[in-house]
């Protein structure tokens, strides 16, 4: 299994691929045929968000325990909302906590990175359109979410979509452990086998009405355990086989 990182180099960053614990500069096309080139000097580069999606498609209430904690009925079909590109940040980038927006909460999630143009995809071949999996934190202004009819404002603040640290290629999304912690205290603890709508179904559902392009992201919902974030906190999302995404919180 490969893990693909985007490392800070130049204005746009540079891709590297991890194989057997060693990082190599990626050659070729990350969304096509790629290989491993020269070794990356140890400790020489920090990570960026592994993709800059044109759109982040989010799925709400996709774990039974989270629906229960939010006092909501299980959805009959996936609940879809969007996050803007401007909300995306990478590992160790700060989440800005706006003082005027009320309670801000974390949501640890598994995210799917699309590898090629996807429209009208069936669940049976949906995984052929996936580059890999990554971690995502669906940061939410909870009081604004309750006040608004839709989720765009509550979910769409700048810095409210940390993604990373890498894209794990070839990983089965159906039974992966997922955890979220704040300042080392575990708040989320679940497994993707608890998803109400699994990844292939989500890809089929979304691409019925929306074309997804390489680098776009579908995030699959959060398990129970959502809770507050305040300036000075550090939030981590850990997904089995992928790694840990960690971000500090600052006043915004």
pLDDT of res. 134: 98
Selection from 96, 84, 91 nearest residue 229 by Cα = 96
Contact (Cβ atoms closer than 8 angstroms) between residue 77 and residue 182: no
- Enumerate domains of the chain plus CATH numbers: 2-39 (no CATH), 56-251 (3.90.850.10)
Please measure the distance between the N-terminal and C-terminal CA atoms of the chain and give it in whole angstroms: 38
Residue 77 has pLDDT above 80, yes or no: yes
Q: Which conformational region is residue 19 in: left (phi greater than 0), alpha (psi within -120 to 50 degrees), or beta?
A: beta
| pLDDT tens digit sequence for 216-233 | 999 999 999 999 999 999
Contact (Cβ atoms closer than 8 angstroms) between residue 95 and residue 246: no
Could you tell me which residues come within 8 angstroms of residue 37 by beta carbon, excluding any fewer than 6 positions away? 24, 25, 26, 27
pLDDT averaged over every residue in the chain: 96
pLDDT of res. 65: 78
| pLDDT tens digit sequence for 27-75 | 999 999 999 999 999 876 899 999 999 999 999 999 987 877 878 788 8
Contact (Cβ atoms closer than 8 angstroms) between residue 51 and residue 9: no
Torsion sign, CA atoms 111, 112, 115, 119:
negative
Instruction: Report the distance separating Cα 67 and Cα 109, nearest Å.
Output: 15
Average pLDDT over residues 95-113: 98
SS3 state of residue 154 = helix
Per-residue pLDDT band at 96 (split at 50, 70, 90): very high
Instruction: Report the distance separating Cα 158 and Cα 142, nearest Å.
Output: 15
pLDDT of res. 145: 94
pLDDT of res. 147: 95
**DSSP state at residue 152:** H
Instruction: Report the distance separating Cα 219 and Cα 237, nearest Å.
Output: 13
Contact (Cβ atoms closer than 8 angstroms) between residue 125 and residue 201: no
Q: Which two tokens stand for residue 91?
A: 């590992």
Instruction: Report the distance separating Cα 252 and Cα 248, nearest Å.
Output: 12
pLDDT of res. 67: 76
Average pLDDT over residues 115-120: 98
Per-residue pLDDT band at 138 (split at 50, 70, 90): very high
Percent of the chain, pLDDT > 70?
100
CB burial class (10 A; 0-12, 13-18, 19+) of residue 32? Answer: exposed
């Amino acid at each position: 299994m490969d893990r693909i990182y985007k490392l800070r180099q130049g204005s746009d960053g540079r891709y590297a691929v991890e194989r057997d614990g060693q990082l190599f500069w990626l050659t070729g096309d990350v969304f096509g045929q790629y290989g491993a080139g020269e070794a990356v000097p140890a400790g020489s580069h920090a990570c960026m968000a592994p993709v800059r999606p044109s759109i982040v498609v989010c799925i709400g209430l996709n774990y039974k325990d989270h629906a229960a904690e939010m006092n909501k009925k299980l959805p009959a079909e996936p609940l879809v909302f969007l996050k803007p590109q401007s909300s995306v940040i990478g590992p160790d980038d700060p989440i800005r906590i706006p003082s005027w927006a009320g309670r801000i909460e974390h949501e640890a999630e598994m995210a799917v990175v699309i590898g090629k143009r996807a429209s009208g995809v069936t669940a049976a071949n949906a995984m052929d359109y996936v580059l890999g999996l990554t971690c995502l934190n669906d940061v939410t202004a909870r009081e604004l979410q309750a006040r608004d009819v839709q989720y765009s404002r509550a979910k769409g603040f700048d810095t409210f979509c940390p993604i990373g640290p890498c894209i794990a290629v070839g990983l089965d999304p159906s039974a992966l452990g997922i955890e979220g912690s704040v300042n080392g205290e575990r708040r989320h603890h679940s497994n993707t086998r608890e998803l109400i709508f699994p990844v292939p179904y989500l890809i089929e559902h979304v691409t019925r009405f929306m074309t997804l392009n390489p680098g776009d992201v579908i995030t699959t919902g959060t398990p129970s355990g959502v809770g507050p974030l305040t300036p000075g906190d550090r939030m981590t999302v850990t997904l089995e086989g992928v790694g840990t995404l960690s971000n500090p919180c600052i006043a915004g």
